[in-house]
Amino acid sequence: METMTGVVLPGDSTVAFEEFPVPEPGEGQVLVKMMASSICGSDIRAIYREHLGEGPEAYQGVIAGHEPCGRVVKVGHGCKQFAVGDRVVVYHISGCGVCADCSDGYMISCTSPVRAAYGWQRDGGHAAYLLAEENTLVKLPDSLSYVDGALCACGFGTCWEALTRIGLSGADRLLITGLGPVGLAAAMLGRALGATTVIGADIAEGRLKLAAELGLVDHVIAADESALGKVKDLTGGAGCEASIDCSGASAGRLLALQGTRQWGRCVFVGEGGTVDFEVSPLLIHQQITLFGSWVTSVKHLQDLVERLDRWGLHPERTCTHQLPLAEAARAYQLADEGQCGKVCIVFDDE
């Protein structure tokens, strides 16, 4: 039997390599030759350091990697759309396919016991091949690289969903708290959707520097006590019409909310932790709409790659490190240090 090396995450900030059989696609499934498989903040937060996740975030010892992108090399019976040779992004959750959320393409929200996320409950992208359900595939436009595609599978998809859900447009200035890979994605997409001024805040020096170097934000500010004053100064005292928290930290969430203009919209996508704030002065009396947004839908992932193609935008620009599978330990270390942009595992084309 043909085998392949896959990366599993034992949960003590280490990476382990194990041998797995190369899977055979069954009914409605395809085999994808992996070309790029990036690391998401959730992999670090809920799996790599310690297995913290429950329910949809419970890691079951499978091949890690929930941002997979590659090329179809085998097609099982009953596939309707995809063929050998197709370049594909994998929407990273396979749902039951028939519940209300799945019908809407939001397999992320499926609560069926058969729901399984790649890299969490079923094998993910950190191996030469991935067994994928056809209904989780999105065609990658020719102009986009495999790394571009991988970055869309979770991070960029999540930002696209959040920013379109709050109706971001050219009427808005955008405040981003947290300039990790998701914050950089929000900056790139926020500007593409028309935000006239993009302000980014972070506590990490390296991340502020990178965001400024990439030119994805108009202003970078250190997320310290002076941050809110700076946001106000940069917006004529008003705050931003739209804000997005990508930090997942309570201070970041608070700054996003405080930096939102009266009648504005604020969306939280950074995961984990808590936030504590005075509801009346900060939310109710400010007439602010606060959104939560979790991942995206298959259709919206498709919309995203179509727009990126049309706009000539490349998420890969936010990827500072591309490493082969053999260097997965280093890749996870880099992502965990939180000073760089996106880290992606890349594979040779054969």
DSSP characters over 133-161: EGGGEEEPPTTS-HHHHHHIIIIIHHHHH
CB of 39 to Zn ion, least distance (A): 9
Q: Which of 122, 131, 119 is nearest to 34 (CA)?
A: 131
Name the residue type at position 82: F
Phi-psi bin for 61: left (phi > 0), alpha (psi -120 to 50), beta? Answer: left
- Whether residue 56 contacts residue 115, with contact meaning beta carbons closer than 8 Å, is answered with yes
Which residue number, 35 or 150, has a Cβ lying nearer to Zn ion?
150
Give the range of 23-31, 38-46, 71-79, 324-332 binding Zn ion by CB under 5 A: 38-46
Give the range of 33-41, 204-212, 252-260, 327-335 binding Zn ion by CB under 5 A: 33-41
Q: Which of 97, 99, 63 is nearest to 80 (CA)?
A: 97
Q: For residue 235, what are the contacts with CB-CB under 8 A and spacing of at least 6?
A: 173, 197, 199, 261
Among 93, 132, 150, 154, interactor with Zn ion by CB under 5 A: 154
Which residue number, 95 or 252, has a Cβ lying nearer to Zn ion?
95
Which residue number, 127 or 227, has a Cβ lying nearer to Zn ion?
127
108 binds Zn ion (CB under 5 A): no
CB of 43 to Zn ion, least distance (A): 7
96 binds Zn ion (CB under 5 A): yes
Q: For residue 196, what are the contacts with CB-CB under 8 A and spacing of at least 6?
A: 170, 172, 173
Give the range of 42-50, 137-145, 319-327, 337-345 binding Zn ion by CB under 5 A: 42-50
Among 38, 42, 135, 296, interactor with Zn ion by CB under 5 A: 42
Q: How far is CA 18 from CA 8, 23, 65, 96, 127, in A?
A: 7, 15, 14, 29, 10
Which residue number, 6 or 65, has a Cβ lying nearer to Zn ion?
65
Among 65, 95, 157, 315, interactor with Zn ion by CB under 5 A: 95
Bridge partners of 321, per DSSP, are: 343
Name the residue type at position 305: V
Give the range of 103-111, 142-150, 239-247, 274-282 binding Zn ion by CB under 5 A: 103-111
Residue in the structure block whose two tokens are 């250190």 = 222
Which residue number, 249 or 295, has a Cβ lying nearer to Zn ion?
295
CB of 183 to Zn ion, least distance (A): 14
Give the range of 37-45, 169-177, 245-253, 277-285 binding Zn ion by CB under 5 A: 37-45
- Whether residue 21 contacts residue 125, with contact meaning beta carbons closer than 8 Å, is answered with no
99 binds Zn ion (CB under 5 A): yes
- Whether residue 97 contacts residue 77, with contact meaning beta carbons closer than 8 Å, is answered with no
Which residue number, 46 or 234, has a Cβ lying nearer to Zn ion?
46
136 binds Zn ion (CB under 5 A): no
Which residue number, 123 or 241, has a Cβ lying nearer to Zn ion?
123
Name the residue type at position 156: F
Among 34, 69, 79, 110, interactor with Zn ion by CB under 5 A: 110
Element containing residue 83 per DSSP (H, E): none
Query: Residues binding Zn ion: what is the number (CB under 5 A)?
Result: 9
CB of 112 to Zn ion, least distance (A): 5
CB of 66 to Zn ion, least distance (A): 5
Q: Which of 162, 179, 147, 183 is nearest to 39 (CA)?
A: 147
40 binds Zn ion (CB under 5 A): yes
Q: How many Cβ atoms are within 10 Å of 259's Cβ, its own excluded?
A: 27
Which residues make up the interface to Zn ion (CB under 5 A)? Answer: 40, 42, 95-96, 99, 102, 110, 112, 154
